[in-house]
Amino acid sequence: MRELLRFQPLYQERVWGGRALESALGRSLPAGAPIGESWEIVDRREAQSIVEGGPCNGQSLRSVLAKHTAHFMGPRWPAEKPFPILVKWLDCHERLSLQVHPPASVAAELKGEPKTENWYIAHSVPGAELIVGLKNGVTRAQFEAAIKAGTLEACVHHFNVAAGDSILVHSGQVHAIDAGNLILEIQQNSDTTFRVYDWGRTGLDGLPRQLHIAQSLRSIDWTDFEPAPVRAAPTSGVIADCAEFSIRRIVLGAGERAHLRANEQPRILSVVSGTVRAQNDGNAGSRAPQGCKLIRGDNALAPYAGAYTITAETTAILLVTENFTGDGAG
């Protein structure tokens, strides 16, 4: 049972969504709906990933981790503890709301959960932007006045992005994603979002969407000015590193290989460009050495107990999310 775990996507209709998951990633989407999110890996009461293929086919992620905790998460992970990462694809056909996630210091008080997240830009139309953090020198008083005046856009930090760029967005950083971005979001397992501004938009029901101004003002880091993204590069390296997780970008030419050793920690594999094949090294002498093919858009969980050789079938970029169990060793 050392195969990678792959899951059925959970598609979410959003007022700002579109059809890019269909056109760019070849997904089959619900007809006619604006699909803004695909929840790729999730372990929450209200949403459960279902395993697709392999010995655990049809089982929920929660059920698998409860039954085989040490195998997938390592010997020190509590069986009842939820999987700590949530992986999503975001199709931002229109601009998202200006929002913030509560930092740990106030999350419980505000009846929410902290959420630090990383955005990897898989595709971006020319001129598309991200909004993260405040413009240099903006104060809380100026921000509150701008909310009332409807001029909040002038208070926040805009920057252009292109495919391959990424940025780590910490809890407490005010942020929004501009129209025209296809993003892989890797985040803490949380679903708490406070909207501070929504550009005058109405929801799918035609009514103004709910804002959470008081909670947002309580959550925003008023010392966070103009953070910089990690720009695309043709080399491997760490693109995100925080207390909650880290992400490595692995760039492979056709035929090149990367190796993941067993009994270190669980990892999430995300193919953002090209095609790779993951071979379970424990099957090296078996009759079925073909391994698991992962194409652009695929996400999979590599268990603690598994060792893998990743071979690029084409030039490929693989993101490896790790260090999310708290001790780097399961």
* Separation of alpha carbons 84 and 165, rounded Å: 24
User: 196, 132, 198, 125: which is closest to 163 by C-alpha?
Assistant: 125
Tens of pLDDT, residues 148-180: 999 999 999 999 999 999 999 999 999 999 999
Domains in the chain, number: 2
Percent share of the chain, pLDDT over 70 = 96
Kindly list the distances between the CA atom of residue 145 and the CA atoms of 148, 168, 195, 219, 230, in Å, as whole numbers in the listed order.
5, 28, 17, 17, 32
The answer to whether 144 and 217 are in contact (CB under 8 A) is yes
Do 210 and 293 fall within a single domain? no
What contacts 31, CB < 8 A, 6 or more positions away? none
| Structural domain containing residue 182 | 5-219
Do 184 and 36 fall within a single domain? yes
User: 219, 327, 309, 315: which is closest to 4 by C-alpha?
Assistant: 309
Under DSSP, is residue 275 helix (H, G, I), strand (E, B) or coil? strand
Do 194 and 315 fall within a single domain? no
Determine, yes or no, domain membership for 316.
yes
Do 80 and 138 fall within a single domain? yes
* Separation of alpha carbons 14 and 33, rounded Å: 8
* Separation of alpha carbons 272 and 182, rounded Å: 11
Do 254 and 204 fall within a single domain? no
Mean pLDDT calculated for residue range 38-61 = 97
245 C-beta neighbours (distance < 10 Å), count:
22
SS3 per-residue string spanning 63-103 = HHHHHCHHHHHCCCCCCCCCCCEEEEEEEECCCCCEEECCC
pLDDT of residue 1: 64
The last residue of one of the domains, among 219, 252, 271, is 219
Tens of pLDDT, residues 266-315: 999 999 999 999 999 875 444 444 689 999 999 999 999 999 999 999 99
pLDDT of residue 329: 43
Q: Is the pLDDT of residue 33 over 80?
A: yes
What contacts 259, CB < 8 A, 6 or more positions away? 307, 308, 309, 310
The answer to whether 194 and 113 are in contact (CB under 8 A) is no
Determine, yes or no, domain membership for 226.
no
Do 14 and 64 fall within a single domain? yes
62 C-beta neighbours (distance < 10 Å), count:
17
pLDDT of residue 290: 66
The last residue of one of the domains, among 187, 219, 251, is 219
CA 96 to chain centroid, in Å, comes to 16
Do 302 and 204 fall within a single domain? no
Do 22 and 149 fall within a single domain? yes
User: 310, 257, 306, 312: which is closest to 282 by C-alpha?
Assistant: 306
Determine, yes or no, domain membership for 329.
no
Determine, yes or no, domain membership for 228.
no
Do 67 and 212 fall within a single domain? yes
Tens of pLDDT, residues 172-211: 999 999 999 999 999 999 999 999 999 888 888 888 889 9
Determine, yes or no, domain membership for 287.
yes
Do 196 and 269 fall within a single domain? no
Catalytic residues, by residue number, are 195
Determine, yes or no, domain membership for 114.
yes
Give the DSSP letter of residue 112.
-
Side chain identity, residue 77: W
The CATH number linked to 301 is 2.60.120.10
Determine, yes or no, domain membership for 60.
yes
Residue for token digits 């996507």? Answer: 9
The answer to whether 101 and 193 are in contact (CB under 8 A) is yes
Give the DSSP letter of residue 51.
B
The answer to whether 136 and 254 are in contact (CB under 8 A) is no
Which two three-digit tokens encode residue 112?
């929410």
* Separation of alpha carbons 174 and 207, rounded Å: 24
What contacts 193, CB < 8 A, 6 or more positions away? 99, 100, 101, 115
Do 103 and 244 fall within a single domain? no
* Separation of alpha carbons 115 and 117, rounded Å: 6
pTM of the model: 0.95
pLDDT of residue 330: 43
Determine, yes or no, domain membership for 163.
yes
pLDDT of residue 283: 57
Do 242 and 211 fall within a single domain? no
